[in-house]
Amino acid sequence: MTSHVLFGRRFRLVRTGQFVLLVAAGFLVVTTLTGLRSQASAVDTVDRWLGNSFGLWAGAMCLLRAVLVREDRLPWAVIGGGLISYGIGTIYFYTVVTELNPAPYPSLADAGWLVFYPAAYVTVILLLRSRLSTFHPSVWLDGLVGGLGVAALASGLAAAAVAPATGGSLATVGVNLAYPLADLLLLMLVVCAFGVLGWRPGGVWWMLGGALAAFAVADTLFLLQAATETFAPGGLHDVLWAVALVLPVFAAWHRVPQSTTARMTGWTVLAVPAAFTLTSLSLLVIGATTTLPLVTVVLAAATVLSALARAALTFAEVQQLAQTRVEARTDDLTGLPNRRAFIERLNAAEQRGRDGQRVALLVLDLDRFKEINDSLGHDIGDELLIGVGQRMNATLRPGDLLARLGGDEFAVLLEDADSAAAGRAADRVRGALRGPFEVGGVTLHVDASIGVATHPTDAEGAAGLLRRADVAMYAAKSGRTGVEHYQPGADGDTLLRLDTIEALRAALDRNELLVHYQPKVDLRAGRTTAVEALVRWQHPTRGLLHPDAFVPFAEHAGLMRAITLEVLGQSLQQCRRCWDAGFEVSVAVNLSASNLLDSGFPGHVVARLASYGLPPRALGLEITETTLMLDRVRSAAVLGELRKLGVRIAVDDYGTGYSSLSYLRELPVDELKLDKSFVTNLDEDPLAAAIVQSTVGLAHSLGLLIVVEGVENAAALQQLKDFGCDLAQGYYLGGPQPAEELIGWLRRHDARRLAATARPGPARGAWT
């Protein structure tokens, strides 16, 4: 059984435990508020058992969080121990102390309860440190100011109220004051944390703050009742204690957003020390007219002096904040960790990996993002990146790290994960991105290419792991496979990719791109009525390259718009030559996403047609289903303009993408071009034949022509004619022809057609 499966089962167990704990707390609240506890002994027994064991349950759940999730392990382990101590104190109180007459006060139960508070202090500080990019010395001064201020206020209250009510017993006064004093310190720490993190710190801090507030109110009620000897179990204080014990469990298992690294900026960080400084100044003023204990006056004066030291330190921190901004580890756009933060975490994970822990890395790059960014604008592109980050983050486990490395490139760090678990995570990410994105009033579909590498299988060092995941990502992009795992020896492809992109930029300037033309035959007339333009690259050292060798790199580098316009110009020029030679064939050019999203593209088409004196019917444009679905609304607008001009629109590779009938109704389309995969074994595969025949019927019922590619033999050709296909292309009918040979091929093909029609029977070689 893989670690990923075990991990998933453990987390389902945790959710069950949280649910049971919540139900138990609800039961306690209902029985207390409705009075069922005092009316039914069985309810009272169950209620007391649940209430007494809350601390143990809550502590165990927090400790389990520390065991299963590496991130922030120490703070949750500390508070888990504190909650267990609190639970032990509760059980001792209700099973031992309450049975004694008279009940001792204070007792050992108080020791168990009071241990919780320093554990909570440490937890708050540790969680705060994990959220701050830098932990300034002023935080310690804030704590000192707050602590002295609380002590001064508490000593004054003790002299004024608590001591007279309790008869002045030192032990009783000390314990009675310990609880509200400890609660006040905790609340001070949480408010200080809110001041540092901002007033939207996330669910963890709201739940912790709510728990500590509930503790403070409950302890205050307990103090008042104990001082007046009216305390009785089962009151509102028990409900508040139960709530205060449940909330930390949900805080521990709440997924913390990765966009929350904070800096200590703004006036809010001064709120807590300022409040306690004013309180201490008030005590000093009151002390001038009223008799206060000496300790209260000393503590108040120490609070003011500490506040002055804090103010002096603030001026020094202002300069440090400027450097902190430069060293920020958060991506400004998405709020995710940036490359620097990710590398630091990756280095730390790699160090732990040397002790035997497996580490997996995903590097993700959005397909055709540059075309979206260039065509729709950077504002749309930025909003899309934000949405992509949010969707990906939702698919990850607690403890996984998602970062934006730059541009449209993201990375995911999976600790304690092997290659199989990484593959499943990659599939979840791609699945989350398949739905449409509503961005700035535009509906977009995006896909991603993901590379996977693991430590220590694929690389030892963090830099090597990132490089090999990047290599795997480009393998996925070039092969259009979606996800690829690193394969040994694939590093050489990286250099080839970089060299290809740079050489391709130069090729556009040096006119190294060529266009070959593959005939499309009208099956009814038996003659060539159109050709498809297929780009080639006459590479100076590698020879003639087909599209698969460079188009994926061109898409990633944002060169497809320039390549399409180059192919369009050459194709219309060749079409003009054919028309001058007496062959009025049309030429079909493949469009990229950047052309389809470019509202100015129809104007380019009009200008090019006019420059060669060709009517719009001389041009056809082919678009794949995937490209059409990138932005259906914008695609419809651009294609609608082109169709109004008289340019024919064809859906290429039909049957391999979305294949949704709705877009055929919504988009201006003239032809369906059935993918060759359905024709390859047409004469041997009845199912393929049925699909082709039904597609022909569908196209004709919608008023569309059907074009079939991949015709390789006479038998397939005959079947397609019998099915009623309109046009066909393939090597049996004629392979791609260089521009200088196309007119000669058309002449030879026309002569063979005439010769074939003059003979009484069909000639097998008449199409070649």
Residue 440 CA to residue 427 CA, distance in Å, equals 27
Do 647 and 457 meet the contact criterion of CB atoms below 8 Å apart?
no
Q: Which of 3, 31, 693 is nearest to 415 (CA)?
A: 3
- Decide: helix, strand or coil at residue 1: coil
Residues in the chain: 768
Residue 610 CA to residue 569 CA, distance in Å, equals 11
Q: Which of 709, 712, 740, 741 is catalytic?
A: 709
Chain centroid to Cα 593, Å, comes to 24
- Decide: helix, strand or coil at residue 514: strand
Of all helices (H) and strands (E), which one includes residue 734? none
What 459-466 contacts at long range (C-beta under 8 Å, 24+ apart), as own/partner pairs, is 460/350, 461/350, 462/343, 462/346, 462/347, 462/349, 462/350, 465/346, 465/350, 465/359, 465/361, 466/343, 466/346, 466/361, 466/363, 466/411
709 is catalytic: yes
- Decide: helix, strand or coil at residue 741: helix
Q: What are phi and psi of 115, to 5 degrees?
A: -60, -30
- Residues forming beta bridges with residue 650, ordered by sequence position: 622, 671
Q: Which of 517, 524, 515, 574 is nearest to 728 (CA)?
A: 524
Do 128 and 205 meet the contact criterion of CB atoms below 8 Å apart?
no
Task: Write the single-letter amino acid at 353.
Answer: G
Residue 87 CA to residue 49 CA, distance in Å, equals 11
**615: left (phi > 0), else alpha (psi -120 to 50), else beta?**
beta
- Decide: helix, strand or coil at residue 337: strand
Residue 657 CA to residue 673 CA, distance in Å, equals 12
**Angle, helix 3-34 to helix 419-433, in steps of 10 degrees:** 60
- Decide: helix, strand or coil at residue 242: helix
- Decide: helix, strand or coil at residue 528: strand
Do 514 and 738 meet the contact criterion of CB atoms below 8 Å apart?
yes
**Angle, helix 560-580 to helix 739-758, in steps of 10 degrees:** 50
CA angle 273, 277, 281 (to 5 degrees): 175
CB atoms within 10 A of CB 744: 11
Residue 753 CA to residue 392 CA, distance in Å, equals 58
Residue 353 CA to residue 418 CA, distance in Å, equals 12
* Torsion from C-alpha of 312, 316, 318, 321, nearest 10 degrees: -140
Active site members? 709
